[in-house]
Amino acid sequence: MKKRYLNLTLTLLFIFSISLWGQTRTWKDGTPFFVHIDSLENAQIGSTVTLNPLYGSSSQPAGFQFSLSGQDWLWPSKIKVESAEDIDARLFLGSELYLVTDGAGKQVLEINPTTGSLIWEFSGESVNDPRYLAFPVDACSYTEMEGTDNVRKVLITDQGRHRVIKVIQATKDIQWSYGHADVEGTAAGYLSSPADAVPMPDSGKIFICDKGNNRVILVNEADSTIEWKYNSGLNNPVDIDYSEAQNAVLITDQSNHRVILVSLDTNGIIWSFGTSNGTPDSLSKGLNLPADADFLDNGNILIADAGNHRLIEVNNAGQVVWEFGKRFDNLKDADRLPDNKHLIVDGNLPERIGYATSEFVSDPRDIGKEVSFTNLIWNADTMATVTSVKLQLRSANTLGDLESAPWHGPSEADSFYVSPSTAINSAHNGHRFYQFKAKLITQNPLYTPTLNDVILNYFYYDVNTTGRITTTVIQDSADNIITRWSKLIFKTVLPENTANRNKVELKITIKDAYSHSPIRSFTASNVDTSNEEALSNVVQLEKKQAIYLQATFKTNNSSVSPALDSWQLEWESTSSSPSEIQFVDPNFQPVTSYRFSDRIQPGQPYIDRVTVLLNDANLEQVSDLISVRINSLLSHDSEEITLNRQTNGGFLLQPSIPGIILSIGVPATDNGFLEVFDRDTLVVNYTDPTNSDDQSGDSVLVIEDKSGVITFLNQYFAPIDTATVGDTIFVRITGENDRNISFAQDTIYATVFDYKTSDQEKITLVEQPDSLNVYFTGNFLSTRGLPIILKNVRTTDDGNIQTISGSQIGIEYLDTISDVPILEVATGSAAPDTLWNYNSSALEFDFAPQPYRPKDGDALRIRIVSSIGTLAIDKIEIFTLSGAKIREILSGQLSFYYNYPIPKHQYGLADNWWNLKNANGDLVSSGTYFVKVSGHIVESGARLSSIRKLVVIR
């Protein structure tokens, strides 16, 4: 690498913050910003300089989801129930009581759910006992006036004995019954497996769901006559509910998978929910073996959709407006309570469900290292003003400490994180284990928030990595000599946690700008943030004119880093005149390389000649000549040269010295030639005889001159010597081993021109890597193609080559290449730069590039040609791989470059003809698409179409 320190530092010195107090000068950085950093290694510059932070996040395992359980009350285990079939609630003397029908237990029970005590029970000892229940499936409690008293009655549907009985609750006497006990029938007074019975309020009439007879009847208690019935198309009706306001009965028609509302006035169905064809359906409009349906106070219907394992609420429009967020294995009955909770029978036992605010504590999570936390993110499904989620965190460095660690919100201890992306409390920094506590809040038992994920973002530092920053070179101005370095002052930022301050190390090292050797190092205090070091007694700094600072950062705790806030140097100086020596070209401009030949040719004994220019104002006052040596690092040739003082300033080598490339042999020293190897380095060093501290030097790379090969390429990167208007051309140069001057990617500049229009376009060719991605091949390729445009008026450097038919396109490139290619231009007659033959089809088209990658920034071009006549395009259609059409582009939306309609055997070209959007204006995704082009022949009217595949890769 070229090392011209003097040039570098003189340039950078103009942007330094230097204050002059007499002969004392100051260099500062980091106040308020760091602007003089030359290199970074594993360090980051912000308001301070720290180790480079590494970022990460910790989240819950895949599939994590938490919502409120919804379980509000369970049946008391001390009261035995074998198979609950139905549950109802009533208020009695200010207490809520639950009436439960135990089918397999052959009993009806009433309990106080608050105390868990049994209030009332009804059953019989044997079949001969009128009170004996074979298999009761439903019971409802209500009051009737008898004289001046309200008497509590219980209506029991005893399915096992094919009857419905009304019981006076206080005495347990059977007051009324319908159906012949233990006899199943269809005649008047008979029932078959009744499923439900409800009284018509204050009427002396009772609705009975006669399931086995597929009918619903209204029976007059006084004479047991049937006053109304509905048996039209029912299939296993299991539940009924009466609406006095509508004078209609709600029937759960189980095996028809529907719920219907039937008018008592017309016997017609005035509302229904479920499929009309009697088939089960799990979608939003269907049911599967519904078990229960009840009117709600808001006019909606609550349905126990047993076969779909769900409890839903349906409005009059037949829309599901609510669903409980839990599946039920065997839902038999469901009633909504006034507080929006529900009594249900799921399986064999009753329970009460309803969401209530609750907390969830996560399992401990181990990040694996101490970190500094940044922000907390979570995903939750909530309902505005109804449900919400808020979180707290606790953390520690051991699992044992985590168990007793306090919970924190973003601020004080009892605060909560209520919004995602909130900054995490710094109290957690330096910890590796954490837990979160989520409080799921609901204002309505019908709804629960759902917490889907919790993510903690953090950053940390690699304890095995050393961070380094290096300043730009620090020295005085060109007309001063530093007589003494005085002070090094730097400020740091210490970790907030005092226990971590001895776990970080920040060291400042002063280095020589030329040799890069360390001169003195200073370690920052872990107690004070201000550090000041005297330099006047550092012997190694005496006479040093150019130094730089290097800071190194280390940590033994991954959550903290040493931090440099600012640094400065102070020194004393006096006037001086620095020198500069350089390898230059014939125009006295600095060079980075020379090219030599491997032989002396007549009339051209060399390619380049070596010239050296020295600037030293001090020396110009006392000497006309100065001698220095040029040394070759590889061949070890050494030539002493004499530099002559110029009238306009400086010392110049006159005449310049030639060079030659050796393949073998030993060079002869001081023979007037520089005999070097290919890729050799020439070095020249100078020491001012009037000031031994004034030293300068330069180096230059020597490359053997090679003749490369230039080739024109088409857009498929195939070599061509003929091009057609509308083509895009590239340029490749191979074997150019004298232009790849480094292992980095090198660049060549050339000019492409047209002989007739005189249009000129500058192109840039970049070196291409080898298979190991190493840039040392000598092969160069132009970075962008040049479209060929039919135009006799040139527009220089517009990115296009303007040409006319029959012209030639050449390239101008300053090198020793003798065989420069010429590209012949043809319009319609030259062979196309393509990989397909358009004469093979009446209508042919292709795309470039294929596949198309939008992020590359290239235009999506389409080329269309016909072999039978002049072609006019009617439309272009785009289809997905499955054949669905997503876009149609009419001819009026297309813009071709020229010659449209498209002449026979000539191209029609259009760029960006499709914006990669579908008919809805949405961008299409990556994938394979089919493009269909339709058109007609102008001369004959014949219609043509063709289909091609286009691959889009985003």
Say which range, 38-52, 207-221, 623-637, 813-827, has the weakest mean pLDDT. 813-827
pLDDT at 716: 79
pLDDT in tens, 180-230: 999 999 998 999 999 999 999 989 999 999 999 999 999 999 999 999 999
Helix (H) or strand (E) holding 366: strand 365-381
The alpha carbon of residue 572 and the mean position of all alpha carbons in its chain are separated, in whole angstroms, by 55
DSSP state, 756? T
340 or 735, higher pLDDT: 340
Minimal CA–CA distance to 274: which of 296, 252, 245? 252
d(CA 243, CA 301): 11
d(CA 590, CA 592): 7
pLDDT at 922: 92
Question: Would the pLDDT of 840 be above 90?
Answer: no
d(CA 532, CA 536): 13
pLDDT at 620: 67
Cβ contacts of 275-280, under 8 Å, gap ≥ 24: 278/235, 280/307
pLDDT at 834: 37
Amino acid at 503: K
pLDDT at 153: 95
Token reading at 706: 């090679």
d(CA 734, CA 768): 10
d(CA 76, CA 117): 8
Q: Do residues 102 and 109 lie in contact, with contact meaning Cβ atoms separated by under 8 Å?
A: yes
pLDDT at 855: 81
Minimal CA–CA distance to 308: which of 296, 294, 320? 320
pLDDT at 622: 55
Token reading at 846: 């292709």
pLDDT at 827: 56
Token reading at 623: 């000497």
Say which range, 477-481, 623-627, 664-668, has the weakest mean pLDDT. 477-481
Say which range, 290-304, 535-549, 788-802, 808-822, has the weakest mean pLDDT. 808-822
d(CA 86, CA 315): 24
Minimal CA–CA distance to 215: which of 200, 193, 199, 198? 193
Q: Do residues 501 and 494 lie in contact, with contact meaning Cβ atoms separated by under 8 Å?
A: yes
pLDDT at 667: 85
d(CA 347, CA 344): 10
pLDDT in tens, 560-617: 999 999 999 999 887 767 889 999 998 889 998 898 887 765 555 557 889 999 998 7
pLDDT in tens, 757-766: 889 999 999 9
Token reading at 148: 């001046």
Q: Do residues 782 and 711 lie in contact, with contact meaning Cβ atoms separated by under 8 Å?
A: no
Other CB atoms within 10 A of residue 135 CB = 18
pLDDT bucket at 372, cuts 50 / 70 / 90: very high
d(CA 639, CA 618): 25
d(CA 674, CA 672): 7
Q: Do residues 328 and 309 lie in contact, with contact meaning Cβ atoms separated by under 8 Å?
A: yes
Residues 425-458 as b/e (b if ≥16 CB within 10 A, e otherwise) read: bebbbbbbbbbbebbbbbeebbbbbbbebbebbb
pLDDT at 839: 44
Say which range, 1-15, 133-147, 612-626, 763-777, has the weakest mean pLDDT. 1-15
For 918, list phi and psi in degrees, rounded to 5. -85, -175
- What 3-state DSSP class applies to 454? strand
- Kindly state the average pLDDT of the residues 860-879: 91
Residues 6 or more apart whose CB falls under 8 angstroms from that of 562 comprise 50, 51, 492, 504, 505, 506, 524, 553, 554, 555
pLDDT at 618: 64
Question: Would the pLDDT of 14 be above 60?
Answer: no
Token reading at 469: 């920053």
d(CA 709, CA 686): 41
Minimal CA–CA distance to 212: which of 238, 230, 250, 232? 238
Q: Do residues 699 and 683 lie in contact, with contact meaning Cβ atoms separated by under 8 Å?
A: yes
Other CB atoms within 10 A of residue 121 CB = 15
- What 3-state DSSP class applies to 916? coil
pLDDT at 831: 34
pLDDT bucket at 15, cuts 50 / 70 / 90: very low
pLDDT at 690: 59
- Kindly state the average pLDDT of the residues 862-883: 90
End-to-end CA distance of the chain: 40
Kindly compute the dihedral angle of the four CA atoms of residues 141, 306, 84, 353, in this order, to the nearest 10 degrees: -80
- What 3-state DSSP class applies to 306? helix
pLDDT at 6: 32
Helix (H) or strand (E) holding 487: strand 480-493
Strands 927-937 and 943-952, by their bridges, are antiparallel
Measure Cα distances from 449 to 133, 376, 383, 388, 439 in Å: 44, 18, 7, 6, 10
pLDDT at 19: 38
Q: Report the percent of the chain where pLDDT is more than 90.
A: 65
- Whose tokens are 């594993």? That residue is 42
pLDDT at 717: 82
Other CB atoms within 10 A of residue 7 CB = 15
Question: Would the pLDDT of 57 be above 60?
Answer: yes
Helix-strand-coil split of the chain, %, nearest 5: 5, 50, 45
Amino acid at 158: D
d(CA 430, CA 371): 5
Report the 3 state secondary structure along 827-859: CCCCCCCCCCCHHHCCEEEEEECCCECHHHCCC
Amino acid at 906: Q
pLDDT in tens, 109-122: 999 999 999 999 99
- Count CA within 13 A, CB hemisphere, residue 599: 3
Residues 899-916 as b/e (b if ≥16 CB within 10 A, e otherwise) read: bbbbbeebbbbbeebbeb
Say which range, 63-72, 606-615, 918-927, has the weakest mean pLDDT. 606-615
d(CA 370, CA 117): 55
For 718, list phi and psi in degrees, rounded to 5. -100, 140
pLDDT at 296: 97
Measure Cα distances from 583 to 330, 613, 620, 652 in Å: 93, 6, 19, 10
- Kindly state the average pLDDT of the residues 68-96: 91
Question: Would the pLDDT of 266 be above 50?
Answer: yes
Strands 674-676 and 657-661, by their bridges, are parallel
Q: Report the percent of the chain where pLDDT is more than 70.
A: 94
For 594, list phi and psi in degrees, rounded to 5. -120, 155
- Whose tokens are 């001969």? That residue is 128
- Whose tokens are 């060399």? That residue is 606
Strand extents, DSSP E, 231-291? 237-243, 248-253, 258-263, 269-274
pLDDT in tens, 31-56: 899 999 999 999 999 999 999 999 99
pLDDT at 882: 79
Minimal CA–CA distance to 85: which of 134, 129, 119, 144? 134
DSSP state, 265? T
pLDDT bucket at 838, cuts 50 / 70 / 90: very low
Strands 474-475 and 71-74, by their bridges, are unpaired
Question: Would the pLDDT of 21 be above 90?
Answer: no
Residues listed for the chain:
954
pLDDT at 632: 93
Question: Would the pLDDT of 69 be above 80?
Answer: yes
pLDDT at 433: 97
Q: Do residues 296 and 281 lie in contact, with contact meaning Cβ atoms separated by under 8 Å?
A: no
Amino acid at 434: Y
Strands 422-423 and 474-475, by their bridges, are unpaired
Q: In what order do the strands lie in the sheet with 258-263?
A: 237-243, 248-253, 258-263, 269-274
d(CA 212, CA 186): 9
pLDDT bucket at 2, cuts 50 / 70 / 90: very low
pLDDT at 842: 86
pLDDT at 654: 86
For 5, list phi and psi in degrees, rounded to 5. -65, -40
pLDDT in tens, 495-514: 988 989 999 999 999 999 99
pLDDT at 722: 87
Number of H helices, E strands in the chain: 3, 72
d(CA 58, CA 919): 41
- Whose tokens are 């309505």? That residue is 444
d(CA 295, CA 272): 13
* Mean pLDDT rounded to a whole number for the chain: 89
